[in-house]
Structure 1
């Protein structure tokens, strides 16, 4: 009897361990994003910095300084897994009453993650593509002023 109880306890504990390890599996697939990414172009300087806030959440900060206009685009981003959903939640200073907008993960492969919110004015889609360990391309796209639009931002890890 004691042997049976011990075996049941081991099985139950082992199954709990496996479930816990995979609890934030979707977010963990994006661990490669952690760090500082940047790109300098003739138009300006872009930097995006990601850190792990906790097991279920990454925290991001993005800046784009446009040289000619001396304008700073600033946004904070939360990438969080809530149950089985991975949510990309940017808050852009000066837009949407400084409130966050949720984009839900709609597809993912080993190196490409697409987030969408068809009700958002622009963009409706945000894609992160890992080119290699030191390079990524972030793309925003959707319909803007009645026309399809897409902008890509290649970045290198610092």
Structure 2
């Protein structure tokens, strides 16, 4: 898979997903040959906390999405390997991770970004969708 950093530049910027009485904001910027992202969760009082950081980078010539979680039960770094790119959708996978095993980012144009995570919990398939809108 011969993806270049330019293939991922659609992520650059700030993306917001309103859910219930709160929201999630994901920010991405380019840094050298990598993309650096962070995800904040906000409650109904607009109080935010950093829940994870992401680095999209090449390791030994292969693209990985390296995710570091900060929430209780989700601490530490997990690397997800880029396994597919089709129909403007990037698929990252780590079959050894508890949940999720797959992370998807779909380029839906300048104003929308669809992300979702999938995997198995207790033998059942679980999917969580993040329909982001561009903040800037």
What TM-score results when the alignment is normalised by the length of structure 2?
A: 0.86
**Does residue 143 of the first structure (1) align with residue 120 of the second (2)?**
yes
Give 5+ residue unaligned stretches, structure 2.
none
Q: Which residue of 2 aligns with 1:116?
A: 93
Is contact 1:66-1:72 (8 Å) kept?
Answer: no
> Are the structure 2 counterparts of residues 82 and 50 from structure 1 closer, same or farther at C-alpha, using a change threshold of 3 Å?
same
How many angstroms apart in 2 are the aligned matches of 1:149 and 1:96?
17
> Are the structure 2 counterparts of residues 94 and 41 from structure 1 closer, same or farther at C-alpha, using a change threshold of 3 Å?
closer
* 2:71 aligned residue (73, 94, 98): 94
| Alignment coverage as a number of residue pairs | 133
Q: Which residue of 2 aligns with 1:61?
A: 38
1:5-154 equivalences under 5 Å are: 25-54=3-32, 56-67=33-44, 72=49, 74-94=51-71, 98-109=75-86, 111-154=88-131
How many angstroms apart in 1 are the aligned matches of 2:74 and 2:118?
21
* CA RMSD, Structure 1 to Structure 2 (Å): 2.3
How many angstroms apart in 2 are the aligned matches of 1:38 and 1:78?
19
Shift of 1:28: 1.9
Q: Which runs of 4+ in 1 moved over 3 A?
A: 70-73, 94-98
> Are the structure 2 counterparts of residues 97 and 137 from structure 1 closer, same or farther at C-alpha, using a change threshold of 3 Å?
closer
CA displacement, residues 100-141 of structure 1 (integer Å, 9 cap, x when unaligned): 100000101251100000000000000001111110111000
Shift of 1:63: 1.1
The structure in which a higher percent of residues are strand is 2
